[in-house]
Structure 1
Amino acid sequence: MKPEKVLTIGIDIDGTVTSPSSIVPLMNESFGRDLRYEDCYEYNLANVYNITDEEFDKWLDQNGERLYKEAPVHGNADDILRAWHPHFKLVYISAREDRHRDVTINWFSRYDIPFHELDLIGSHDKLSAAKKWGVDLFLEDRLENALQLSEALQIPVFLFDTPYNQGDLPSLVHRVTTWDEVQEKIQLLSMERTSV
């Protein structure tokens, strides 16, 4: 009998494992605004804050370390990821740059969040990394990524519901609001795989 393949879960970090609202207070502080997380109706915060992409890139370059260090955990992601670690392969694929590896690993360590692989690709195009690691499903908060990954790889993507990722979803993209909901859906998926 063939050994059962371990489920490989691709996981975005910012807005998925970290709270999606964590960037807003820092940007308000820097740009003298008083926006709420609910006001962030699109992923490109340069548009939301009425600044140029270059200004946002410069801001992130200067504040990324602080943002990644101070971000709170998204709900009970830490508990669920600890429970998954012995059973699934956890591969974090993030648009963070590799120069933020230390602050990222320290943050994971502080919250006791386990991982098997940590791929900081410095780009929002996660397709080649997802292929490289052979992910079976993906957890994401950016709508464009969810659509691209589900279509190109024909895998389920769980999209965490945010003000900036609204829109119609294809059948492989599942909108979720909590980590508990993801846990339930992945348990069902695992049972389906083992019963095949």
Structure 2
Amino acid sequence: MKNLNICIDIDGTITDPYYWLNITNKYFNKDITEEEITKYYIHEVMGIKQEEYDEFYEENKIEIHSQQEIREDVQRVIERLSKLHNIYFVTARDKTLTMFTHSYLKKNEIIYDDLFVLGSHYKVDKAKELNCSVFIEDNYDNAIQLSNAGFKVLLIDANYNRKPLNDNIIRVYNWKEIYSIINKLLLQSKAM
């Protein structure tokens, strides 16, 4: 039996958080830099209407997600974690991207037990269903929702999520740090 149930977001969490910037800048004829991305929602960053972004995304989502680069150490850390823990990817991606997302994870040699493509940013119910021990996330609002529901959250640092944290959220800066913290959580859970 495995020890912890680790839930992991995909976009911006295992991938570069600014993966969408080049293609979006080009499409909307903008010159936004990574440093200027201080909001999570792309349409707000770009200064456009939600509908404009939705139309762009619908036309370009496969290309956008195909070009995403994996953060440093992700494969190695998740492989190590998978030996002791259940790995569940829980993403807000559009449900039409389910098979694409399975293929993306496989192509990038990322080990996991299951994938849940929710089509919504609300992840609390899925975390409860999975008996989540720790949730790794980059979206500040999701982190707050999950932590308020009693889940321990590791919030991977990005320009758009630097707001005050509560006691259930730990800000992390890389996947080696995530590995270290999860090992500490495992030791704490065994001590109880």
Q: TM-score, normalised by structure 2?
A: 0.96
**Does structure 2 retain, via aligned residues, the 8 Å contact 1:69–1:104?**
no
Matches within 5 A, 1:76-87: 76-87=73-84
Q: Indicate yes or no: 2:26 matched with 1:29.
A: yes
Partner residue in 1 for 2:167: 171
C-alpha displacement at 1:113, in angstroms? 0.1
Aligned residues: 192
**Does structure 2 retain, via aligned residues, the 8 Å contact 1:81–1:114?**
yes
Partner residue in 2 for 1:108: 105
Partner residue in 1 for 2:179: 183
- Picking from 27, 38, 42, the partner of 2:35 is 38
C-alpha displacement at 1:34, in angstroms? 1.6
Q: Which consecutive unaligned segments of at least 5 residues does structure 1 have?
A: none
Q: Which consecutive unaligned segments of at least 5 residues does structure 2 have?
A: none
Matched-pair identity in %: 28
Partner residue in 2 for 1:74: 71
Q: In angstroms, what is the RMSD of aligned CA positions?
A: 1.2
Q: Deviations over 1:61-112 (max 9, x none)?
A: 1111111111000121111111111211011110112211222111111111
**Does structure 2 retain, via aligned residues, the 8 Å contact 1:41–1:164?**
yes
Q: Indicate yes or no: 2:95 matched with 1:98.
A: yes
Q: Deviations over 1:1-55 (max 9, x none)?
A: xxx7620011100000111011111111111112111211101111111100111
AA aligned to 1:105 is H
Partner residue in 2 for 1:53: 50
